[in-house]
A = this chain, B = another copy of it.
Amino acid sequence: MKISVVGMGIMGSAMAGKLIAAGHEVTVTNRSPEKAGPLLASGAKWADTPAEAAASADVAITMVTDPAAVEAVSLGAAGILEGLGTHAVHAEMSTVSPSSAAAIAARYGERGARFVQAPVLGSRAQIEQGTLLVLAGGDASDIALCSEAWSAFAKRVWTLGEPEQASAFKLGCNMLIAQMILALGQSITFVRKHGIPAAEFLDVIDESALASPMFRSKGGALLKGNFTPNFVVRNLLKDVGLAADAAHEKGCTLPFNALAAELLTLAVTQGYGDEDYSAVVKTMARQAEVDIA
C-alpha cells in the first residue's frame, strides 16, 4: 500500500519504520525535516506538506502532539484534507478531545472525505514489537482499509463507533493511567512513612489481585530512580485536562481526575514535566518528606 506518515516524533517515526519494513511504499513529512533523515535513508519518500503527503496515499496517518497541531495538519493550509484522494482515508492517531475529533470529522464529511480517529495504547516499544492497540472510530470500511496498514505494528484494532468516541475511549484510558500511578505513589509513600521498603511493597502487590504490567514496570523504575520518559508528565497532564473538559461538557464530574491534574501540575512546577509520568511519585514523596525506595 501507499502510506504516508505526518509527524516524525517518537511514535510517528517508529510507525513509519515498521511500515517500510512491512514492504509498504512510505512517504513522510514533518515540521522540522531533519527528524526524517533515518527514514529517508531507509527508503521513505519526502513530501513538503501534509497535502502533498496525502495526495499519493491510500492511508494518510497523522501522529502529532497537541490538538492545535492536529487541526493544522488536517484542516489548515496544505493540510491533509486538501490533498486526500477520494479512495484514501486519513487515519488521525493522536490524542485529541472528543469535540475536536467530532469537528474535524464533520469538516471531512462535508467534503466527502474519509476520516478515522484512531488513538493508540502503547508506545515505541509496542510499535516495535508489533503489539500496539488501536482504538478506531469511524466507518467500518474505512477502518478496515487502515487496518491493513496498522497490521505492520498493531496487535489488535477495536472498532468503537464515531471518531469522538474513539477519542473519549483513549482519554478514559489515560485518566486511568494517571489514577493508577497516583494510587501506587500514595500507597508507597504511606508504607515508606512506616519504614517499609518500597521493593517489598511492590513485590507483594505483584503477587496479589492488584498486579498489573504497569505497576511492575513503573515500580521497577521507581526503585531505580529511573525516570527516562516513555510518556512525560506534561503530556499526561494535558490528557487529564482534555478529559476534564470533555467530562464537563457532558455534565460529568471527575473529582479524582481534578486532583490528579493538580498534583501533576505540582510535579511540573517542581521540574519533572519532561520526565516519565511516574516522576509524579517524587512529588508525593517530597510532600511526605520520605525517600521513595
Can you list the 7 inter-chain pairs with the closest CB atoms, starting with the nearest?
Answer: A179-B183, A251-B269, A168-B194, A258-B258, A212-B212, A172-B191, A209-B213
Known: A165-B196, A195-B161, A265-B248. A186 touches B217 (CB 8 A): no
In angstroms, how far is the closest chain B Cβ from the Cβ of A34?
30
CA distance A161 to B195 in the complex (A): 9
Within 8 A of B (CB), among A168-187: 168-169, 171-173, 175-177, 179-180, 182-184, 186-187
Copies held by the complex: 4
What are 9 A-B contacts defined by CB distance under 8 Å? A121-B208, A121-B209, A165-B194, A173-B204, A175-B190, A176-B184, A182-B256, A186-B256, A190-B247
CA distance A135 to B194 in the complex (A): 14
CA distance A205 to B98 in the complex (A): 19
Known: A190-B171, A257-B186, A259-B259. A133 touches B212 (CB 8 A): no
A255 interface residue per 8 A CB criterion = yes
Within 8 A of B (CB), among A244-293: 244, 246-248, 250-259, 261-263, 265-266, 268-269, 287-290
Q: Tell me whether A187 and B173 are in contact (CB under 8 A).
A: yes
The 0/1 profile, CB within 8 Å of B marked 1, for residues 228-243 of chain A is 0000000001000101
A110 interface residue per 8 A CB criterion = no
* B residues near A200, Cβ cutoff 8 Å: 158, 160, 169
Name the residue among A98, A252, A255, A269 with the largest chain B CB count within 10 angstroms. A252
Q: Tell me whether B253 and A263 are in contact (CB under 8 A).
A: yes
* B residues near A212, Cβ cutoff 8 Å: 209-212, 215
* B residues near A237, Cβ cutoff 8 Å: 248
* B residues near A215, Cβ cutoff 8 Å: 212
* B residues near A98, Cβ cutoff 8 Å: 194
In angstroms, how far is the closest chain B Cβ from the Cβ of A81?
24
Residue from B172, B180, B193, B253 within 8 A of A250 (CB atoms): B193
CA distance A241 to B244 in the complex (A): 10
Q: Tell me whether A183 and B176 are in contact (CB under 8 A).
A: yes
CA distance A189 to B254 in the complex (A): 9
